Structure 1
Amino acid sequence: MNTDQFLVKSPLQYVDKAIFTWQTPSNIALVKYWGKSNPQIPKNASISFTLQNCHTTTKIEFLKKNYSNEVDFEVFFEGKQKAEFKPKIADFFKRIATYCPYIFEYQMTIHSENSFPHSSGIASSASGLSAIAMCLMSLEKQLNSEISQDFITKKASFLARLGSGSASRSIEGPLVVWGNHPEIEGSSDLFGVKFPHRIHPIFENYQDVILLVDKGEKQVSSTVGHELMHQHPYAENRFHQANQNLAKMSNILQNGDVKNFINLVESEALTLHAMMLTSNPYFILMKPNTLEIINKIWKYRSENNSNICFTLDAGANVHVLFPENEKETVMQFIENELASFCYKKEYICDVSGFGAKQLS
């Protein structure tokens, strides 16, 4: 794996001050990755829909200082200083220091806010760390005007991955593959790439309504969950299955095979949680209302010949996926029958999106 391509090789023209603001989305994996090796290398390839409305907005103020061996930064989340967020971001900066030596030249003030509840299984690390990565690449572009947009996108995904694996899939959209896979041209364990094939129109503007079953922090973090795959009795079969499923998903997305899409997406979601149930120590992130919603979706789909389906991330919340042409009827179903299983009847209406965007 060639990581040298991301080293800073040209002289940098330092500026005294710079401010950049980026809005980067969360994403929802259709084929999941669960299990990784250092440094943040996935055990299998994955593919996700980039979301549009679930996003993190991050502003970083860079102020030139005398060079030191320590990264100097403060973090504010939704207007409040968050010392508890610093260790994870400090680890991230340590991992990327070789590739971003300019972070030792600046005092950084990070202001961040989410459009969705933090740490409730909507990949807040993915959107948060990809936003930081985009701000850093904006600074690198200012210090070295010769780097191309393609390089910025690729390196941002590479950097984001070193903070959170799924963050590599939040730079572009609407479909992104992360992990080396023989059937996905240009795919890599080091960064995410846009799905290289033309998708069937049925999968354009795909709808994702996120039912907020539980807005609290997860009992077991994704980091811990990934680590439990190292000694998992079913791990190797799972990694093989996921790579096979990605090949199947590639054909489904191109051919518009919605029925097989439903089967594969739901199977992937349940397999992810089966890995948690069969870890040692074992754990459950689903809640009783998660199961109530799943059964309601299955009943509705059967009775209405609908193409609605669900997926789950590493949490209790349910992502309800469906084609745009069913939006009116499915939204009625969600409001009338599913909202009551959500925390204070709250849910987020989302749709597949196109990745990071810079704000003025």
Structure 2
Amino acid sequence: MLNRTKVLELRVEAEAVAPSNIAIVKYWGKRNTELNLPLNSSLSVSLDSLWVRSKVIFDEGFERDVVTINGNKLSDGEVKDYAGKVLDIFRNFYGRRIYARVESSTNFPSSAGLASSAAGIAALVIASNEALGLNLSKRELSKIARIGSGSACRSLFGGFVKWNKGELENGEDSFCEEIFTPDHWPNLVDVIGIFKEERKKVSSRSGMQSTTLSSSLLKCRLEFVERTFGEVIDSIRTRNAKLFFELTMRHSNSMHAVILDSWPPLNYLNDRSFRVMEWVAEFGRAGYTFDAGPNPHIFTLEEDVKEVTEFLESEGAVKVIISKIGKGPYIIS
């Protein structure tokens, strides 16, 4: 099953694919920045049309970790902040200081609010576990992915995924679990409009820190999440589209309200984002959500995909991606 080119003591490798995910109940703000422990639990959907493919090679001949994404080599600082944290954990499990070369590719724009880092870290975690033959459980792997990039832990599973915030200071109870399978709601569709593919001016990591330190609305948001979390789960369990769409939009608005309330003020949306929000609310048969970027995810049912797509194209979307609920990551043999 392992994709190896030499004996284990010298060189091992594996390749994995992991899905992007979009949060319905948003994660924004941390109680521990080193361990990426969130202020609230979150709930996401794994997507079948957005993915990252990562190949990891561990070799005793390497002198440092090297990571490339779509052919672009990351700086040492960028490697240290994300992939390096994950690779250090795997080296500790393996019991040997063996460096890695990571080659990743995405089928969607990075740094545009589409969770490319989440999918990338998830794919790296799955591939590293396979290459080193560690056989760690999905729950344990989600904790490792969380340290690399908070929302990456949700890309360790398919379907509808809950990330438990946990209470322990060491983060051992902050992990992910699949609460509904990918086929639970077969006619639910995510229509994604790509308007901008440029890099965000303020990273999600920096934005979260600013919000946590300065937003006076954050306490109200956390109370709202706690109060409505069960309603979101029930809307999915019963496939109550109207309620699901409403709660999806309200949770998106809640996150972006505290982002704007940060000081200095932050804003990941633009004029077109607000036009999308207005149209979807008036349309009545869909629900929008935005992560840290201006590109909308519009959930709707299959029979309304055409109308949603035509609207996005009329607004100038350079690309429209149709995604259904996806499965979790997998190894490429």
Does residue 193 (structure 1) correspond to residue 202 (structure 2)? The answer is no
**2:119 matched to 1:127?**
yes
* Distance in 2 separating the partners of 1:73 and 1:99: 13
Q: Which residue of 2 aligns with 1:330?
A: 305
In structure 2, the partner of 1:255 is 238
- TM-score using structure 2 length: 0.88
Deviation, 1:173, is 1.3
Of 202, 210, 218, which residue of structure 1 is paired with 2:192? 210
1:281 maps to 2:264: yes
Question: Are 1:25 and 2:32 an aligned pair?
Answer: no
Match of 2:205 among 185, 209, 223: 223
Q: Which residue of 2 aligns with 1:167?
A: 152
Residue 79 of structure 2 aligns to a residue whose secondary structure is helix
Using the alignment, how far apart are the partners of 1:65 and 1:135 within structure 2? Answer: 19
Matches of 1:300 and 1:20 in 2, distance apart? 46
Q: When the two structures are aligned, how many residues end up with a matched partner? A: 319
Q: Which letter maps to 1:314?
A: A
Segment drifting more, 43-52 vs 130-139: 130-139
* Match status 1:51 vs 2:62: no
Match 2:313 to one of 333, 339, 354: 339
Deviations for 1:118-156, whole angstroms, at most 9, x for unmatched residues? 100001110011111111111232xx5xx4xxx431222
> Does the CA contact (< 8 Å) of 1:199 and 1:255 recur in 2?
no
Match of 2:4 in 1: none
Give the whole-Å Cα distance in 2 for the aligned partners of 1:112 and 1:105.
22
Does structure 2 conserve the Cα–Cα contact (< 8 Å) formed by 1:23 and 1:357? yes
Quick check: 1:270 aligned with 2:253? yes
Asked if 1:62 corresponds to 2:37, the answer is no
> CA 1:133–1:170 in 2, change beyond 3 Å: closer, same or farther?
same
CA shift, 1:74, in A, is 1.2
Following TM superposition, by how much is the alpha carbon of 1:244 offset from its aligned partner in structure 2, in angstroms?
2.1
Deviations 1:40-68 (A, max 9, x none): 101000000011111110011121249xx
User: Closer, same or farther in 2 for the Cα pair 1:255/1:155, shift >3 Å?
Assistant: same
Equivalent AA in structure 2 for residue 154 of structure 1 = R
Separation in structure 2 between the aligned mates of residue 217 and residue 204 of structure 1, nearest angstrom: 33
Report the Cα distance in structure 1 between the residues aligned to 2:110 and 2:186, rounded to whole angstroms.
28
The correspondence for 1:156, drawn from 141, 145, 155, is: 141
1:76 and 1:111 in contact (8 A); partners too: yes
User: Do residues 294 (structure 1) and 277 (structure 2) align?
Assistant: yes
In the TM superposition, what is the alpha-carbon distance from 1:284 to its structure 2 partner?
A: 1.3
CA RMSD of aligned residues (A): 2.5
* CA distance 1:124–1:99, shift in 2 (3 Å): same
TM-fit CA distance, 1:291: 1.4
Secondary structure, counterpart of 1:293 in structure 2: helix
Amino acid at match of 1:30: I
CA contact (8 A) 1:308 1:323 kept: yes
Distance 2:57 2:214 in 1: 42
Look up the match of 1:8.
none
| CA deviation string 1:6-61 (max 9, x = no partner) | xxxxxxx9432212111101100010111112221010000000111111100111
Q: Is 1:310 matched with 2:288?
A: yes
Q: By how many angstroms is 1:198 displaced?
A: 7.6
Whether the 8 Å CA contact 1:45–1:180 is kept in 2: the answer is yes
Partner of 2:78: 88
Question: 1:165 Cα deviation (Å)?
Answer: 0.7
Match of 1:78 in 2: 70
Q: Whose Rg is larger?
A: 1
Unpaired runs of 5+ residues, structure 1, are 1-12, 302-306
Change (3 A) 1:294 1:133: same
Q: Kindly provide the amino acid, as one letter, of the partner of residue 19 in structure 1.
A: E
Deviates more, 1:94-103 or 1:350-359: 94-103
Percent of aligned pairs with the same residue? Answer: 26
Task: Name the residue aligned to 1:176.
Answer: 161
Distance 1:180 1:269, change over 3 A: same
CA contact (8 A) 2:18 2:156 kept: yes
Any unmatched runs of 5+ in structure 2? Answer: 1-6
| SS of the residue 2:9 aligns to | coil
Q: TM-score, normalised by structure 1?
A: 0.81
Q: C-alpha separation between the residues in 2 aligned to 1:163 and 1:272?
A: 22
Deviation string 1:231-270 (CA, Å, 9 cap, x unpaired) is: 3212222122212221111221122222211111100011
